[in-house]
Amino acid sequence: MTNETNVKEKGFIQPVHGTSLEEINGTITVPKDKNFWKNLIAFSGPGALVAVGYMDPGNWVTSISGGAKYGYLLLSVIFVSSLIAMLLQYMSAKLGIVTHLDLAQATRKYTGKRLGFVLWIVTELAIMATDIAEVIGGAIALNLLFGIPLVIGVSLTILDVFLLLFLMRLGFRKIEAIVVTLICVIMLVFVYEVVIAQPNLPAMFKGFIPQKQILNHGELTMALGIVGATVMPHNLYLHSSISQSRKIDRSDEVEVAKAVRFAKWDSNIQLSAAFVINCLLLILGSALFFGRPEDLGTFSSLYDALQDSNIAGAVASPILSTLFAVALLASGQNSTITGTLTGQVVMEGFIHMRIPTWARRLITRLLSVIPVFLCTLYFGGNETALDNLLIYSQVFLSVALPISMIPLVYFTSSKKIMGRFKNAWWVSSLGWLCTIALTVLNIQLIFTTLVDLF
């Protein structure tokens, strides 16, 4: 009898003891032969759901604004952030495959009930902060594309609940395919826009080399914003769970090793796509808007600028701005799918409780919609206020990041927990270095944000 059946028969909320996301765990078969491409295709999918978090609406403003203010300088920051993301997501996927525990379950197991409850609260707030970015991005995209008032657009995002329920009925493999399709749409849109923007190629490639100028106050603040919006704590919980969706013999170390290997391939390929998209966003901002006095810190200002020949030059057109809004809507819908799954993972893992998927999604979305809705009503639909709320939601994610990174690196570096699959010494060293560096950078981001606020 499944946990879902228990919920239906015994009540609305029931304790859960077992595998992570039981309805999809071990449901996707993989080839038994050694054909690389067949195995890569079979194991591909979880990385796409994770990559979504690295290209959500929270990344857009920071990347495009970074290009508009500082040219191609901060491409090196995106590059380094993406390498860190690849390392952490590899650890996360490996933890799930080897231990058959997601990060929330492992943290609860090795910390206890009380601390697990506290960590659950913080992580839930982080998921809600992520959801705020999705609500804002979706509402603004609807406003730009169809002229729907922001207040109504925010309310319409609640309907995402029914979209997700429909997708879940199609099966997890189809959800992965839909997410990959939306990622491809976003990438194609920005490849097209960057090509017609004609960036300065020598300057662009130079931007991937770190330069001293990044340490200046303004550039450093923007760099911290890019880093803070790139590595998201909820992705670590999600990946450690959905990496277990492939059906393997966990008593066979050879099969486990193969699963870890192809999970790494999947993750790195999909995160490379996210890296390309974030680079395209910054390159677009630099090619079209660098050196211009206009403030392009909001989605609407970017939308308007893309069709204003006085700002974007000869390439400006309504097609560019419409494609931008379509990509923004696709990004928000992608993040909606992963947000619900992550919420289920952390609730089951930290406090061993489960509620029906529709209720989980509805509660999370309502709690996220309330602050956005109130902000929209108070400021009369002023998009700048929503963008500020989006920025502050990203700052809260910075607080939650060490809570997920520290146990992840510790668990995957432990021979007792991981056996022969524990991190090599240099991987552990890099993991701890990244954890310390990101924690310090995020503290700095919080400090600069509070200084700017007051």
Residue with tokens 């925010």: 154
d(CA 250, CA 247): 9
The pLDDT tens digits of the residues spanning 85-117 come to 899 999 999 999 999 999 999 999 888 888 888
Q: Which amino acid is at 86?
A: M
Weakest mean pLDDT among 56-70, 202-216, 220-234, 374-388: 374-388
Find out whether 230 and 54 touch, Cβ atoms under 8 Å: yes
Q: How far apart are CA 120 and CA 117, in angstroms?
A: 5
Averaged pLDDT for residues 436-449: 75
215 DSSP assignment: G
φ, ψ for residue 414, nearest 5 deg: -90, 125
Residues forming a β-bridge with 246: 28
In the chain the domains, ranked by start, together with CATH numbers, are 3-113+175-356+380-453 (1.20.1740)
CB neighbours of 279 closer than 8 A, spacing ≥ 6?
Answer: 75, 78, 79
Residues 6+ apart with CB under 8 A from 452: none
Contact by Cβ (8 Å): 152, 129: no
| Identity at 250, one-letter amino acid code | R
Q: Would the pLDDT of 14 be above 50? A: no
Token pair for residue 99? 């231990």
**11-20, 24-33, 384-393, range with greatest mean pLDDT:** 24-33
Question: Which structure tokens are listed for 134?
Answer: 């999705």
Q: Which residue has the higher pLDDT, 21 or 384?
A: 21
Residue 344: CA atoms inside 13 Å, Cβ hemisphere, count? 25
The per-residue pLDDT for 34 is 82
Q: Rounded distance, CA 437 to CA 358, Å?
A: 38
295 pLDDT tier (thresholds 50, 70, 90): low
Rounded distance between C-alpha atoms, residue 333 and residue 327, angstroms: 10
**Exposed (0-12), middle (13-18) or buried (19+): which is 215, by Cβ within 10 Å?**
exposed
Tell me: pLDDT of 410 over 50.
Answer: yes
Locate 287 and state its tokens: 């090619």
pLDDT one-digit tens code per residue, 148-171? 888 888 777 777 666 666 766 777
d(CA 178, CA 201): 33
Rounded Cα gap, residues 390 and 375, in angstroms: 11
In the numeric block, the tokens 């630099």 are attached to 286
Summarize pLDDT for 204-258 with one digit per residue, the tens.
999 999 888 887 767 777 777 677 667 778 889 999 999 999 988 888 899 999 9
Its pTM stands at: 0.84
Can you read off the two tokens belonging to residue 127? 């998921």
Closest among 55, 58, 76, 80 to 67, alpha carbons compared: 76
CA–CA–CA angle 116, 234, 443 (5° rounding): 85
**Cα radius of gyration rounded to whole Å, the chain:** 21
